[in-house]
Amino acid sequence: MHYINRPEYTNKIRPFIGKQIIKVIVGQRRVGKSYLLYQLMDTIKAENPLANILYINRELEEFIYLRTHMDLMEYLKDKLPENSQNYLFIDEIQEIESFQLALRSLLAENNCDIFCTGSNAKILSGELATYLSGRYIEFTIHSLSYAEFLEFHHLANSSESLMKYLTFGGMPYLANIGLEENLPFEYLRNVYSTILLKDVVSRENIRNVSFLENLVMYLADNVGNLFSAANISRFLKSQHVDISPQLTINYLKALSNAFFIYKVVRSEVGGLKIFEIGEKYYFEDIGLRNAIRGFNRMTDMQKLLENAVFLHLIERG
């Protein structure tokens, strides 16, 4: 399979290959988690041609029947021979009900090296922390950095290239689509719909979808501005719409759980006190923000640059 390596991530994970600890790769949908698994599998094959590598993607038709941890264990029972070096890769593991029970059992058997990906922070962190505390390590994958964007699209570093990055963002698959004006945004709008419906509305049992969509639009229009759920609630009440601050907070958490947005809390210079109000929100991918809200160079440039700086800092962190 053809892909472009992302060594910044493989180099972080590589020291843990062969160690008795579950490697959990998390991040927003379509940021390249599956292709990172492919890179890791190829790394293992190159170093150990006799390795027994199993790859499961619950979203593929051939694995759709693996609905529970019992289905998974039944599938694996004769595929992990004791005398082999076994490596198990499971993509989008949160699609398997009670997956943590299967992972705990597999880890106890000590018969395979386990790698998995997921697109929901709430499910993964909660279940894994409960059942596998201290026995897993988490790696967060982001959309392409500016340097990766240049490599993926075969561009030189220039003002024009930076403008393309600030316009279309860093979703890796855009390298296969190209950066013609309409095609990237058509793809990005489809990605946004999938994230919103599958990873937020369905996963978090969201009822007021209309408010959720308006909240996303508001966040897109106010990147980097101070945000208060109480202020949103007061404004809506002035418009005769009864939305509580707590509901707004819950919906923001749901968007954050899908790695769609990130919250940055405000603190004093000394870092000793967190203010009760006044956080900021940034998007995982600038292109998705632009696909939602549109892009105006005159009014949006400062917002997009601030979002890009935030992404650069968390990628380096």
> Which residues of the chain fall below pLDDT 50?
269, 272, 274-276
Give the pLDDT confidence score for residue 267 in this predicted structure. Answer: 66
Q: Are residues 126 and 152 in the same domain?
A: no
71 and 220 together in one domain: no
Residues 159 and 297 in one domain: yes
Which of 124, 140, 156 terminates a domain? The answer is 140
> So what's the pLDDT on residue 268?
58
Among 140, 167, 196, residue at a domain's last position:
140
The predicted pLDDT at position 274 comes to: 47
Same domain, 120 and 197: no
Q: Is residue 2 part of a domain?
A: no
Domain count, the chain: 2
| Residue 258 sits in the same domain as residue 212 | yes
In order, the DSSP letters of the chain are: ------HHHHHHHGGGTTSSSEEEEE-STTSSHHHHHHHHHHHHHHH-TT-EEEEEETTSGGGTT--BHHHHHHHHTTTS-TTS-EEEEEESGGGSBTHHHHHHHHHHHT-SEEEEEES-HHHHHHHHHHHSTTSEEEEE--SPPHHHHHHHTT--SSHHHHHHHHHH---TTHHHH---SHHHHHHHHHHHHHIIIIIIIIHHT-S-HHHHHHHHHHHHHTTTS-B-HHHHHHHHHHTT----HHHHHHHHHHHHHTTSEEEE--B-TTS--B-SS-BEEEES-HHHHHHHH---HHHHHHHHHHHHHHHHHHHH-
Q: Are residues 184 and 301 in the same domain?
A: yes
Q: The pTM is what?
A: 0.92
Report yes or no on 1 lying in a domain. Answer: no
Domain region containing 287 = 148-316
Tell which of 140, 160, 188 closes a domain. Answer: 140
pLDDT for res 175: 96
161 and 240 housed in the same domain = yes
Q: 232 with 257, same domain?
A: yes
CATH assignment at residue 263: 1.10.10
- Please check whether residue 237 lies inside any domain of the structure: yes
